[in-house]
Amino acid sequence: MSDPQPKPPGPPRTRAQEEAAAWLARLGNHSISTQTVREFRDWRDDPANDAAYVEAEAFWDASGQHAADPEILRMTQEALDRGKRRTSWRAWLRGPRLAGALTLASLAAAGATVLAVQQLEPAYATDAAEQKVVRLEDGSRVHLNVDSQVKVAFTGGERRLTLTRGEAFFEVAHDAARPFVVEADGARIRALGTKFDVRRLDGGVRVTLLQGSVRVGPDAGPGGVVLAPNQEALVSSNGAIRKVSTDAARTTSWTTGRLVFRDTPLAAAVAEVNRYSDRKVELAGPGLADRPVSGFFDVGDSESFARGVADLFDLSLSRGDRGAWKLAPAAAAPPGPGA
């Protein structure tokens, strides 16, 4: 019997594959600015780039292990090694896939295990101009919006997280033996394998389902509703739950660096835009708050939003206190520098 022929080399790496590996490394385990999210979205607008990233991500997450494809793993390793956090990233690649406020370098030095980190119930938080993608040890991912915090407490029988402030988007790895539970201000969301958004509001919580199925109920006592994709549950502080239809892709568009409005009252759109920028938008004058606005706007770009609204409704745009963009009816425009 003749010796087996050596396997021919695989196809050469494309530029899109190399860039996908770099993006996977960049987004996988540390804080990211809203500008980074916008850059990633712009890069994925190219169909070839998008396909390469989907492939890299699928290999990386296969069976909850490191990349199933050695080439994808090698490209990602190279991308990580080029970063400033070379030592920490290598520790992450070779050890448990944990992200967090505790640096991986310190975890390695202390010889910490997954169990030890879980016992500490780590918390991940963002400031007013930051988003963060956290990869948990079970393969799930948490995308924290600006000014948000989540606490993690995994046990052998349950994966429990508490959203203490703000908003988070959860991509849950399936594990029938350990339900994935999120608690927020009296609301309890239970899922097995799904994608959903949880946002704390004044006096309640909003849960929006993008994919899969979740059960939403009060933290204590019976009751609750089961959501299907493009449904959301509004849970009031007194435990009352209301289920409504929604556009989940629009609600979760912030994860792609874009805000999407469809016939949204102008006051609500302004409030959402202002979450992501130090330069706020202000409405001055009567009759503006309820005007419906539709469009796509980059997260953090309050100027483009203000100029777009000014053109749409023929409003005057001027600079207010602390550099705010002030919108007002043209006839009632305050004196000041022009837009």
pLDDT digits (tens, 9 = 90+) for 20-70: 877 876 765 455 666 677 677 788 888 888 888 877 777 665 534 444 445
Task: Please indicate whether residue 137 or residue 160 has the higher confidence score (pLDDT).
Answer: 160
- What Rg, from alpha-carbon coordinates, does the chain have? 23
The residues spanned by each domain of the chain are: 13-94, 97-248, 257-332
pLDDT at 130: 85
State the Cα–Cα distance between residues 327 and 303, nearest whole angstrom.
11
Give the CATH number of domain 97-248.
Answer: 2.60.120.1440
Cα 180 to Cα 18, 101, 121, 152, 157: the distances in Å are 33, 21, 15, 11, 10
pLDDT interval class at 134 (50, 70, 90)? confident
pLDDT at 69: 47
Q: Report pLDDT digits (tens) over 59-85.
A: 665 534 444 445 555 555 555 454 434
State the Cα–Cα distance between residues 122 and 170, nearest whole angstrom.
17
pLDDT at 226: 93
Buried b / exposed e over 294-304, threshold 16 CB at 10 Å, is eeebbbbbbee
For residues 51 and 16, the answer to whether their CB atoms sit within 8 Å is yes
Sheet of 187-191: strand order equals 123-125, 149-154, 159-165, 180-184, 187-191, 214-218, 225-227
pLDDT at 256: 85
User: Mean per-residue pLDDT for 216-243?
Assistant: 87
Q: Tell the burial category of 270 from Cβ atoms under 10 Å away from its Cβ (0-12, 13-18, 19+).
A: buried
Task: Please indicate whether residue 175 or residue 118 has the higher confidence score (pLDDT).
Answer: 175
Residue whose C-alpha is closest to residue 299's, from 281, 275, 320: 275
Q: What is the DSSP string of 160-213?
A: EEEEEESEEEEEPPP-TTS-EEEEETTEEEEESS-EEEEEEETTEEEEEEEES-
> Over the chain, what is the mean pLDDT?
77
Task: Please indicate whether residue 107 or residue 82 has the higher confidence score (pLDDT).
Answer: 82
Instruction: Give the pairing type, strands 141-144 and 149-154.
Output: unpaired
**What fold does the segment set 257-332 form as a domain?**
Phage tail protein beta-alpha-beta fold (3.55.50)
User: Mean per-residue pLDDT for 81-107?
Assistant: 33
Q: Report pLDDT digits (tens) over 281-338.
A: 999 878 899 999 998 888 888 999 999 999 999 999 998 877 899 999 986 545 555 5
pLDDT > 60? residue 102? no
For residues 258 and 281, the answer to whether their CB atoms sit within 8 Å is no
pLDDT > 70? residue 271? yes
Torsion of CA 103, 105, 111, 117, to 10 degrees: 10
pLDDT at 107: 29
Q: Report pLDDT digits (tens) over 174-206.
A: 888 899 999 999 899 999 779 999 999 988 999
Cross-strand pairs, 243: 233
Q: Tell the burial category of 63 from Cβ atoms under 10 Å away from its Cβ (0-12, 13-18, 19+).
A: exposed
Task: Please indicate whether residue 221 or residue 132 has the higher confidence score (pLDDT).
Answer: 132
Q: How many CA atoms lie within 13 A of 52 on its CB side?
A: 24
